Amino acid sequence: MIALERVSFGYEGTPVLDGITVEIPAGVTALLGPNGVGKTTLLRIILGIVRPQAGTVRIAGRPQTSYSRRELSRLIGLVPQNETITFDLSVHEYVLLGRAPHLHPIELPGPRDLEAVSDVLDSLGILDLKDRAVSSLSGGERQLVIIARALAQQPKILLLDEPTAHLDLANQARVLRLLRALAAQGLSVLLTTHDPNIALAVADYTVLMRRGHGCLAGPTRTLLTAENLSSVYGVPVAVLSVDGHIFIRT
């Protein structure tokens, strides 16, 4: 679904991405690595928010530059790590913002848009929250509502930046189950995380990003070895198996 070839980018002369070449398949893929290796920057490049300073990006087989902004917005949804909601919107009003790529600049949402929002809220099990103010929600509820807004775009690719970073264990598990379910329905999911255990829990494929040294990529359980993780994180990392379950610790 996404292919990057020799993609480089830096801020004020400081390189962040240096010649990244990787193909990201359908299913759930994790962009894994420590803070500062360029995971969020790579999402921004895939979205077209910033242009790579070198290299090319292809989305669904086409050069990214061949898409209009509206076409990309219909194709790719984003769940940011932090989203400030300045107005006291209800859940229904907020999720309805996800329909913007399907509307003309001065067009009001119609019955099809309202139905799409209700369907998304229902599919996520949060239809009962539709009249609640977003500001009144718990952390887990708020994250599901932000995902709902992205899904209301009806994208083929969903990008999530550290989607479990501020959630307790129960809500982490709830979000990860949701991502697996979305992938089973045909959505391509790409998430960033600094936690190898999150990648193990949800991702079929992982891109392991190394500061200044490109990346490694492959099936998650094959790629996440003690040697690879120790090299990337700069500390000894153990990969353990307990009752058939693999987990990682330092």
pLDDT for res 217: 93
pLDDT for res 159: 96
pLDDT tens-digit map of 70-95 = 899 889 999 998 777 777 899 999 99
* Domain boundaries, given as residue ranges, for the chain: 2-249
pLDDT tens-digit map of 232-241 = 888 998 888 7
**What is the C-alpha to C-alpha distance for residues 233 and 213, in angstroms, rounded to an integer?**
13
- pLDDT for 156 beyond 70: yes
Instruction: Report the share of the chain in percent with pLDDT over 70.
Output: 99
Highest mean pLDDT: which of 8-12, 54-58, 228-232, 237-241?
A: 54-58
**What is the C-alpha to C-alpha distance for residues 157 and 30, in angstroms, rounded to an integer?**
13
**What is the C-alpha to C-alpha distance for residues 209 and 216, in angstroms, rounded to an integer?**
7
Mean of the per-residue pLDDT values of the chain: 90
pLDDT tens-digit map of 179-212 = 999 999 999 999 999 999 999 999 999 999 987 6
The mean pLDDT value for 44-64 works out to 92
The mean pLDDT value for 140-150 works out to 91
Whether 216 contacts 57, CB under 8 Å: no
- pLDDT for 173 beyond 80: yes
pLDDT tens-digit map of 202-211 = 999 999 998 7
If you write DSSP's letter for every residue of 78-117 in order, what string do you get? EE-S-----S--BHHHHHHGGGGGGS-TTPPP-HHHHHHH
pLDDT for res 14: 79
Query: What top-level class would CATH report for the domain 2-249?
Result: alpha beta
The mean pLDDT value for 116-135 works out to 92
Instruction: Grade residue 213 by pLDDT with cuts at 50, 70 and 90.
Output: low
